[in-house]
Amino acid sequence: MKENLKLGIKLLVIAGIAGLLLGYAYEITKGPIEAKAKEEQSIAMKELLPAATDFKKSEKNFSSDSNISSIYEGNKNGQLSGYLFTVKSSGYGGPITMMIGISTEGKVEGVKILAHTETPGLGSNAEKPKFKDQFKGKSAEKELTVGSDIQAMTGSTITSKAVTSGVNSAIKFYNDQLKGAK
């Protein structure tokens, strides 16, 4: 009985120390991780709406679409250039987080995959220009479909449909809420 109690106390001390060390490591790395995420977001914004020079979070209510997690307005010299949508869609390996740019002219400016857990060499190819550049320049007048508007990646139809679904969420919101609002 005494041996079990001693062992339990030792394990409690070790677990407590490990927990403190993990908490300390988290606090040290939290700031740089957040800064890196903001930097990557800023780069993605400039890449997807090159006509814009500054970006601000939109006040538009997007709670009606659970796939959209944020909307930014891109401006240049006080003129609205377009919108950036951060969207989550369900892929084969889990959620795919992407950013979609749509200009005020109603064109998809581009798609940037921010995070995913897709299969390396298959679904992960959604990040490659051969796939994601298919969206660039497409009209945001109607939703896009895999097979006619977008060619699916070989062996990754689910991922292709998931990315297209994310883009369609942005297109739908743009058409229903933002089109013509300059």
Task: Give tens-digit pLDDT for 121-162.
Answer: 888 888 888 999 999 999 988 899 998 899 888 888 899 999
Residue at token pair 């993990």: 22
pLDDT value at residue 180 = 59
- Half-sphere CA count of 179, side-chain side, radius 13 A: 14
Half-sphere exposure of 115 (CA within 13 A, CB side): 9
Q: Report residue 163's pLDDT band, with 50, 70 and 90 as the boundaries.
A: very high
* pLDDT surpassing 60 at residue 182: no
pLDDT at 31 (0 to 100)? 93
pLDDT score recorded for residue 41? 86
62: Cα separation from own chain's centroid:
15
Looking at the predicted structure, is the pLDDT value of residue 98 above 90?
yes
Burial class (CB in 10 A: 0-12, 13-18, 19+), 170: buried
Q: Is the pLDDT of residue 59 over 70?
A: yes
Confidence of residue 99 (pLDDT cuts 50, 70, 90): very high
